[in-house]
Amino acid sequence: MKGTSYTARQPDETGFIHYSDEEHRIWGELLARQLTWIPGRACDQFLEGLEKLNLPADRIPQLVEVDRVLEQATGWRTAQVPALISFQHFFELLAQKRFPVATFIRRREEFDYLQEPDIFHEIFGHCPLLTNPAFAHFTHTYGKLGLAASPKERVFLARLYWFTVEFGLVNTEQGLRIYGGGILSSPGETRYALSDEPERVAMSVVDALRTPYRIDIMQPIYYVLSNLDDLFDIAELDLMSLVKQAQELGLHQPKFRPKQKVS
């Protein structure tokens, strides 16, 4: 697994995680900026979850504050983790209804884009929807399946997570909306995802499992749910048989150029 230059903050003996004034300022600026972009773009369920979390604008929240809301809503909690964790640990946590949160925040020079998921991405991007029963059920089921899957199966499952939890769109009565945390924590992707540039197709689990992606570019294709509750129905499918089907069919042709190798 690729390394990182970030180190997660460790809690003190009381469980409190200390951050610097500059880190709190970065959180506040990220939050304020993204709150200007999501109205009319984020799905209602995300906005409702955000209201429940009531994230502080002047400091990085403590995980215990987030846990109180999640536990009451769906029985989930967060789990403090290092900057990067293994697939095994990731699936173990999701299977226990614990959402991994790396307790560091991006540096100012990486304010607009960061490959590693930081605390802003995890708390702002993902935790609001963990208050939604369909999203929470899908994420829990995904964790249990991934825990039992082979390494090759996990690579296919990762694509389903990418095109739902991270970069998913959903049709609503008000029009197309965003629910993926990878989009909602990025102002550039929030604008881009609903523009005329990317391709958008109705969600097909097998196709999503077969679609290559890159983490360092705007997504050329998004899969669209007809309703957020579809996540519950997807979780009830025999997903591992669909993984096997996707493996037999092979990958779709990538919709992006290969990443340039650094000589």
- CB-based burial label for 260 (10 Å; 0-12, 13-18, 19+): exposed
Is 140 known to be catalytic?
Answer: no
166 among annotated binding-site residues = yes
Tokens 């990486």 map to which residue? Answer: 110
Q: DSSP secondary structure string, 25-49? A: HHHHHHHHHHHHH-TTTB-HHHHHH
Is 126 known to be catalytic?
Answer: yes
Catalytic residue among 92, 122, 185, 189: 185
Is 121 known to be catalytic?
Answer: yes
Catalytic residue among 23, 122, 126, 137: 126
Cα distances (Å, whole numbers) of residue 38 to 33, 153, 238: 9, 34, 34
Under a CB-based contact definition with an 8 Å cutoff, are residues 78 and 70 in contact? yes
Catalytic residue among 121, 122, 140, 186: 121
Half-sphere exposure of residue 33, counting CA atoms within 13 Å on the CB side?
Answer: 16
Catalytic residue among 153, 166, 186, 189: 166
Is 18 known to be catalytic?
Answer: no
Q: Which residues are annotated as a binding site?
A: 121, 126, 166
Give the residue numbers annotated as catalytic, written as ranges.
121, 126, 166, 185
Q: Which residues are annotated as a binding site for Fe cation?
A: 121, 126, 166
